[in-house]
Chain A
Amino acid sequence: DQQVKQNSPSLSVQEGRISILNCDYTNSMFDYFLWYKKYPAEGPTFLISISSIKDKNEDGRFTVFLNKSAKHLSLHIVPSQPGDSAVYFCAAIISGSARQLTFGSGTQLTVLP
């Protein structure tokens, strides 16, 4: 039951360029979306989120875009830095008390110096 999909297992980008990570979802009940970054042997670190009532949210180098009609979101990182190299997970939630996050399978981003 893949309600949240990240179809690219890996992405390589040159330092200073834009990284674009993509995520698709199938459950139209999801109303809040999050991106997490994960280094090996560490827990997921929250990066940025977006509510379904918005189509864009920006925080520094990170911007998340949401296209509800296409059930698609993307994370843009610009400019990319070598320290951004990690696995990026997209997650979605149906808002309410103590609701579960549904995660995608992750995309390994490698930023080349």
Chain B
Amino acid sequence: EPEVTQTPSHQVTQMGQEVILRCVPISNHLYFYWYRQILGQKVEFLVSFYNNEISEKSEIFDDQFSVERPDGSNFTLKIRSTKLEDSAMYFCASSDSRGRTQYFGPGTRLLVL
């Protein structure tokens, strides 16, 4: 069964460093998303992406964040200068042309020290 994959599974970084989280969405899906879950809190929407541009973004997704689909398979989330409060699980998701049911990857656990 097709699935969303994410790398790395864990990332530890120093505050102020840049990180890139990678995702390979399900191959025939058209819509791509990033969510995060801070420990003990809800899963929160960050950004959605369609047709090589951002469709929606939340207020969390400030200028420190960017997304890119550098080729036909990868979808990346870059955090330019990490802060302590960026420590969280980051989930990538994708959905098909109907765009309603989103399928999630296993997540990347980001720890900012």
Contact = CB atoms under 8 A, between A and B. Distances in A.
B56 A44 contact: no
Contacts of B106: 41-43
Most buried by B among A46, A99, A103: A99
Interface in B51-77: 55-56, 58
Interface residues of B, number: 30
Contacts of B56: 98-100
Interface string A80-113: 0000000001010101111111111110000000
Interface residues of A, number: 25
Contacts, number: 70
Contact of B105 (A36, A43, A98, A103): A43
Given A98-B50, A98-B56, A46 B99 contact: no
23 contacts: A32-B100, A41-B109, A42-B106, A44-B91, A45-B104, A46-B104, A93-B100, A95-B100, A97-B55, A97-B99, A98-B31, A98-B32, A98-B49, A99-B55, A99-B99, A100-B45, A100-B48, A101-B35, A101-B45, A101-B102, A103-B42, A104-B42, A105-B42
Interface of A: 32, 34, 36, 41-46, 49, 89, 91, 93, 95-106
Interface of B: 4, 6, 31-33, 35, 41-45, 48-50, 55-56, 58, 91, 93, 95, 99-107, 109
